[in-house]
Amino acid sequence: MEDIDIITNERCKDVLLAIIEGYLATANPVGSKFVSENYYLNLSPASIRNIMAILEEGGYIYQPHFSAGRVPTAKGYKFYVESLMKTEKISKKQRETIKKTFHLENRNMGDILHQTSRALSDLSHYTGIVLAPETSQTNLLHIEFVRVKPNNILVIMVFKNAIVENRLIYVYKDIKQNELNGYSDRLNEIIEKRDCGIDELRNIIESEMCDDKENLYSILNGTILNFTNNPDRNLANSLYIGPETVLLDEPEFSNNKQIKFFIKTINDKKIIIKLLGLAKNCETKRIFIGSDAEWSEITGLSLITAPYLSEDKALRGSIGIIGPSRMNYSQVIPIIDFIAEFLGEII
């Protein structure tokens, strides 16, 4: 077979673009007849079939069934995004609509990030996800203990960047609310005097309160350690996922097996956190296209991510949109770019 470098061969790029655009629009494998009738490439169906064979050998497309048309591979999508795609722009009206979806009156960080995940889902018609900024390097503003029921205490930690962390803990003995209030007051005095973060507060508890074996401080010590030394637990509680129902209308999720895989991927927060974590420290967006060879945890899915950074550079997190590999990349990428920039302005 003729050895052609697709990167420099315009005919190959034209046919690949036609196949990808046709598949994005129809969700059906694309054949040479479809390309010939819908794209003015000045190529005969036979020439198109020859080019399709070259693209298939190069790993850019594949034939899902005998006598069927062709479908893009992860490699094909990557080449499309990097070299062929024309990104659409968000209009001024769309920008204003996005801004109006946020309710910033109380500026609660959790509410803002929840609104962000929903806005990403609503705008893209896929599933929006948001990773909150880390709190380990941020100073505390307030800590409070609430007796939810016997032996169960809600620990509320408010940070100076407006992030609120909640943990429900089990204690070996029941502690009344008035006693919990006393513990909260004592810790808040330390926080106010020392202007400390969670790591420093942990060290204070370990060094200055280690003899208080019979009161809450020994339990609190374990709680603080869980906040800082259990990253999976911390991050899982800092992951915001938008509505998933619209995405399930996509043709890719027409059978139970595909639906179950998607739901499993979303529910396994470690996978999403891993990819969002990789994006958080980047300067620009990243695109993860699942395949058996790379990012196999999300095979058949794509995740577009971008970091966000507060204006004072004190907060850094990431946002993303996850959907099928047959994602409308040209529309999703500008949504990600704009919301990442807007989120950095309001946090």
pLDDT digits (tens, 9 = 90+) for 130-144: 998 876 667 888 999
Give residue 4's pLDDT band: very low, low, confident or very high (50, 70, 90).
low
The structure tokens 């609430």 sit at 146
Q: CA quadruple 37, 49, 11, 291: dihedral positive or negative?
A: positive
pLDDT > 90 fraction of the chain, expressed in percent and rounded: 33
The mean pLDDT value for 71-93 works out to 91
C-alpha dihedral sign at 266, 288, 102, 155: positive
136: left (phi over 0), alpha (psi -120 to 50) or beta: alpha
The pLDDT assigned to 243 comes to 85
Specify the residue for token string 């790379």.
294
d(CA 125, CA 252): 14
Strands 286-289 and 140-149: unpaired
Domain ranges in the chain are: 10-84, 92-133+239-346, 140-235
Point out the least confidently predicted range of 150-154, 246-250, 275-279.
Answer: 246-250
Supply the pLDDT for residue 12: 93
The CATH number, out of the four listed (1.10.10.10, 2.40.160.50, 3.40.50.800, 3.30.565.10), of the domain defined by the range 10-84: 1.10.10.10
- For residues 115 and 102, what is the distance between their CA atoms, to the nearest angstrom? 6
The residues with which 145 forms a beta bridge, in sequence order, are 155
92-133+239-346 is classed CATH 3.30.450.40 = yes
Note whether 280 and 307 are within 8 A (CB): yes
Q: CA-CA distances (angstroms) from residue 144 to 153, 242, 252, 339?
A: 10, 29, 46, 33
Q: What is the DSSP letter of 240?
A: E
Task: Name the band, by pLDDT with cuts 50, 70 and 90, for residue 233.
Answer: very low
CA atoms within 13 A on the CB side of 268: 11
Q: Which of 76-90, 137-151, 223-237 has the lowest mean pLDDT?
A: 223-237
If phi > 0 it is left, if psi is from -120 to 50 it is alpha, else beta; for residue 151 that is: left
User: How high is the pLDDT of residue 3?
Assistant: 45
Task: Give per-residue pLDDT as tens, 267-314.
Answer: 778 888 888 888 887 888 899 998 877 788 888 899 999 999 887 776
Residue 223 reports pLDDT greater than 70: no
d(CA 313, CA 317): 11
Q: Which pLDDT value is given to residue 338? A: 93
The tens digit of pLDDT for each residue in 161-215 reads 667 777 788 777 788 899 889 888 988 998 888 888 877 887 777 776 655 545 5
What rounded mean pLDDT belongs to the chain? 83
- The pLDDT confidence band at residue 220, using thresholds 50, 70 and 90, is low
Same fold: 10-84 with 92-133+239-346: no
